[in-house]
Amino acid sequence: MSSIRILIADDHAIVRSGLRQILSDSPDLLVTGEAENGVEAMHKLRDGSFDLVLMDVSMPDRNGIDTLKLVRKEFPRLPVLVLSMHPEDQYAIRALKAGASGYLTKQSAPEQLVTAIRQVASGKKYVSPTLAMELANAITDDDERPPHEKLSDREYQTLVMISSGKTLTQIGEELSLSVKTVSVYRARLLEKMRMKNNAELTHYGLKHGLTD
């Protein structure tokens, strides 16, 4: 069996160490690189040779979704498996639309992770039964979808962060955007959600479990 060379991109050293430990039990899975943020991940990909990227969706300096889009642009054939602390109903469909080959939550069993890696590395997609149901629901009529599913990725990120109690300045710092730009996303999402202020957005976010 040929080896699968893996780059782990996650901002928590303890998570990277845990993943490396899990994968070390499978002789065909080799962790040949680690990155703690999106910029470092892109540097490693440009300098090295990998068969798969295991990436967190929430990283400092550049959100995982943004990094994912960049990977797809520069390395269109490289499979990316997204591993996230966020429930599947929050980011999974967005990650798949952005080019991910699969999506797993960090609560998944180690065996599930190994299965997903092998499946994605072979050129297939990986979705859990829960995610398969989400995808089926996403195909339904637009009118039946909740308002937050119609937001752009940036608008959705802004909604999640506002719901988590973050200020526009904090959101700007986390997404590497100016406060003015974040204000534009906030204005757009208020319009799309037909809401008037942050309090209404926060109430909606908490009701639907859309917090960091």
Q: What is the CA radius of gyration of the chain?
A: 18
CA distance 58 to 112: 21
Q: Are 127 and 133 in contact (CB under 8 A)?
A: no
Closest residue by Cα to residue 76 from 53, 92, 105? 53
CA distance 126 to 122: 11
What is the tens place of the pLDDT at every residue in 165-178? Answer: 999 999 999 888 89
SS3 98: coil
Q: Is the dihedral of CA 191, 194, 198, 204 positive or negative?
A: negative
Q: Are 190 and 201 in contact (CB under 8 A)?
A: yes
What is the tens place of the pLDDT at every residue in 8-47? Answer: 999 999 999 999 999 999 999 999 999 999 899 999 999 9
Q: Are 15 and 41 in contact (CB under 8 A)?
A: no
* CATH architecture, domain defined by 143-207: Orthogonal Bundle (1.10)
pLDDT of residue 151: 86
What CATH number was assigned to the domain covering residues 4-138? 3.40.50.2300
Instruction: Read off the pLDDT band of 209 (50, 70, 90).
Output: confident
pTM: 0.67
Domain ranges across the chain? 4-138, 143-207
CA distance 141 to 155: 21
Q: Return the residue matching tokens 């940036």.
A: 154
What is the tens place of the pLDDT at every residue in 51-64? Answer: 999 999 877 666 67
Q: In sequence order, what are the residues at sequence separation of 6 or more whose Cβ sits closer than 8 angstroms to the Cβ of residue 72? A: 80, 98, 99
